[in-house]
A and B are shown apart, each in its own frame.
Chain A
Amino acid sequence: MGNEEAVFFSRLLTELTLSFHIIYATIGVGIPLMIFIAQWVGIKKQDEHYILLARRWTRGFVITVAVGVVTGTAIGLQLSLLWPNFMQLAGNVIALPLFMETFAFFFEAIFLGIYLYTWDRFKDQRKHMLLLIPVAIGASFSAVFITMVNAFMNTPQGFDLENGVLVNVKPLVAMFNPAMPTKVAHVLSTAYMTSAFILASVGAFRLLKGSNHVYHKKALFLTMKIGLIFSIASAVIGDFSGKYLAEYQPEKLAAYEWHFETEEGAPLILFGVLKDNHEVKYALEIPYALSILAHGDPYAEVIGLDQFSEDVIPPLYIHYLFDLMVTIGMVVAMVSLVYVVGTWLRRRFVNANWFLWIVFTTGPLAMLAIEAGWWLTEVGRQPWVLRGMMRTADAATTSNHVDSMLLLFTGLYLVLGVGSVIVLTRMFRKNPVEQELADRHGEGR
């Protein structure tokens, strides 16, 4: 058996679907919390701007949710279509969180429907806001459950293989595997962080385009504060992830960091280019930093790639992805810190065009970091689909039609991506904030 072409195209198609879906999924997980915070602040301070902020974010959110839902359906089915052998095994052991994810999503979908159509139905605004709690919880828990499945792929446990037969299946043990806590927490905090920065980019863009309305300044200040908090949280949890990797997937950490020789007091390599014979050039070496990242102790021993046979080491280019992810994380954290402190101290540069352009880049950059992070962790798990249990090449379908499906889905994602961007831009260009604020006053609110 085995069909190398099918394996190659299956990987490509899964990579494409995930790369596209993760954009909408990240927004879908993070934005409900942002809307909730905005509406909460608006009600608490009786400030109409924040309420309108929640309202307008919701309108955009619906469009992204729609694309997230359909691409989520696509990846859900593609897992079985492209990786039938993997899903057969996974279905036996890790089906529980997959199943629970649909419930979380169901819960979110129902309350989102209600929330959307009941803006002016409640006398007490707080009741309407309460409808967002199940939306936000459903959205976040969808991410929690799906990430549990991904964590399981990194540290499979909760079952025994005896002569090719699965025995002693323990669904809860499989769910609460060692990779789960850091992965789940990192996925959630980066989703909140990225969503905040995306919304900040929108606000910065409006200010750059000539609007000087305090509405946008409030929006920007709010989202930058949230972005700052969660980018710091993401970095701290990222540090925990390093310690997790050092213990459970040392080959993955070593490949991330181009750590070839096992040694004590290991330095952390940032940037650089890999030459032949594991020679690293132009790199920034931070002494003892890898030992600190891996064990919290500058003199601790960190296992290097020399301890592993060639055929279980992931491709080494992932170090570049690691650099990209970490650098962006640092940059957006710094930008938001400068913005927040600058605003607090009423410095004028925060409203200067050059600075707003920098602020504007945080959203796209954060999304790029999300992509880099997923490529990093997925490629970093290779050659395994289930680490130590099943190789990716053995999991794929044997069908001969995967290449044409790749074309089909490329077309689909183009249509969805272009469509959603056009719709979103038209939606907000046609109905600017100033206009909407004036309309609402006209109605006597």
Chain B
Amino acid sequence: MTYEVIGISVLWLFLFGYVIVASIDFGAGFFNAYSLLINKHHIISGIIQRYLSPVWEVTNVFLVFFFVGVVGFFPRTAFYYGTSLLVPASIAIVLLAIRGSYYAFTTYGELRHKGWTYLYGFSGLFIPASLSIVLTISEGGFITEDEAGLALDYWALFTSPLTWSIVVLSLTSVLYISAAFLTWYANKAKDHQATELLRKYALVWAFPAIITATGIIVELRTHNPVHFNRLVDLWFLFGISFVLFLGSVYLIWKRKNYGIAFTLLTGQFLVAFFAYGISHYPYLLYPYLTIYDSFTSEEMAVALIVAFIAGLGLLLPSLFLLLKLFLFNKDYVQGNR
């Protein structure tokens, strides 16, 4: 494996980590607000609060890690994406900032007002939508380069069906991932009412998620044929992903082994995420940037990889401790602590 491939794989893995933990977080906020709207708040808010409280800060770090890593391994992305993403990325930052800080304000600062719950819950849906625009842009066709520099064609971007299918996919998968996880979590807490409600949400969102995912592949066929053909070559990976999807839906349907169901779901998204990533290879931005022509120097790559391994040696045990204390600790999950 070349350093380029190691670098992008590590970053892609972290982005996947962000997609999962952030989806759970965004979805949880949404379900919390939604249940308040339909007067079922008493059923699930306890469970959601107990999960979110100790981990909210960790979620953000995955994202920071990803974009700092990208600039480290592939410095030219800073120029291309930095110039063209000024507006969408700034909007995402503002939403993330409001959401993150008002979470702390309400949880620790007793700022209890329904308005904040709604703001928190619904802003969580705009963030994946605005972040997913980056994936759309990476498919090419929206950035033009001339003497004046780089420019993003907003009109083309917002009228493209590809943009909107990716936005919808991000929303449906956020809700699906989150509902499936919280079903498991509520079940662990032996909270049957909450489990049933969240299980219903999970089943409701499962099929929209898979349908929009298929829709994107169809969109790509016309938008970026090169990428589409590479996707088709990887059909078996998407097949595995689909089988995993069926497995997790079956288990949730039968009310069995929610833990395994969520593991299968993670597998489903992992395989699909990497299949998408592999088919995108070697481009970071069609047609301007590949992982090869944007790569940093070899010395820096080695230094970053060494730092990464050392960092993981520190982080993995701490993450494990966090999970052990809060996620896998019966007393905490059941609210006895």
Contact = CB atoms under 8 A, between A and B. Distances in A.
Interface of A: 1, 3, 59, 62-63, 65-67, 69-74, 76-78, 80-85, 87-93, 95-96, 98-103, 105-107, 109-114, 116-118, 121, 134, 166-167, 169-172, 397-399, 401-402, 404-405, 408-409, 412, 415-416, 419-420, 422-424, 426-427, 430
A81 B82 contact: yes
A70 B101 contact: yes
A23 B10 CA distance: 33
B85 interface: yes
Contacts of A121: 337
B115 to A, nearest CB: 13
Contacts of B299: 169-171
Contact of A92 (B82, B296, B314, B315): B296
Contacts of B300: 92-93, 95-96, 169, 171
A309 B111 CA distance: 56
B197 interface: no
Contacts of A412: 94, 97-98
B259 to A, nearest CB: 22
Interface residues of B, number: 70
Nearest to A66: B104
Contacts of B325: 114, 117-118
B58 A110 contact: yes
Given A96-B72, A103-B311, A73 B57 contact: no
A75 to B, nearest CB: 10
Contacts of A1: 147-149
30 contacts: A66-B100, A66-B103, A66-B104, A67-B101, A69-B57, A69-B60, A69-B100, A70-B96, A71-B97, A74-B93, A77-B89, A89-B75, A93-B300, A95-B73, A95-B300, A98-B72, A99-B68, A102-B68, A106-B58, A106-B61, A106-B315, A107-B314, A109-B61, A110-B319, A113-B322, A404-B87, A416-B98, A423-B109, A423-B111, A430-B110
Nearest to B297: A169
A121 B85 CA distance: 46
Contacts of A426: 109-111
A116 B55 CA distance: 11
Contacts of A169: 296-297, 299-300
Contact of B67 (A65, A77, A117, A134): A77
A63 B94 contact: no
Contacts of A113: 54-58, 322, 326
A116 to B, nearest CB: 7
Contact of A80 (B56, B63, B71, B319): B71
Contacts of A107: 314-315, 318
Contacts of A409: 90, 94
A405 B101 contact: no
A169 B296 CA distance: 10
Contacts of B89: 77, 81
Contacts of A59: 108
B38 interface: no
B314 A427 contact: no
Main SS at interface, chain B: helix
Contacts of B60: 69-70, 73, 109
A27 B274 CA distance: 40
Contacts of B72: 91, 95-96, 98-99
Contact of B326 (A66, A74, A117, A405): A117
Interface in B303-337: 303-304, 307-308, 311, 314-315, 318-319, 321-322, 325-326, 332, 337
Contacts of B68: 76, 95, 98-99, 101-102
A1 B145 CA distance: 12
A282 B110 CA distance: 52
Contacts of A167: 297
B321 A85 contact: no
> Most chain-B Cβ atoms within 10 A of its Cβ — which of A74, A80, A171?
A80
Contacts of A70: 60, 96-97, 100-101
A414 B321 CA distance: 37
B315 A103 contact: yes
A397 B319 contact: no
A84 B84 CA distance: 10
B82 A99 contact: no
B234 interface: no
A87 B101 contact: no
Contact of A114 (B54, B78, B104): B54
Contacts of A416: 97-98, 101
Contacts of B337: 121
Contacts of B71: 80, 87, 90-91, 95, 98
B240 to A, nearest CB: 31
Contacts of A419: 101-102, 105, 111
A120 to B, nearest CB: 9
A394 B91 CA distance: 25
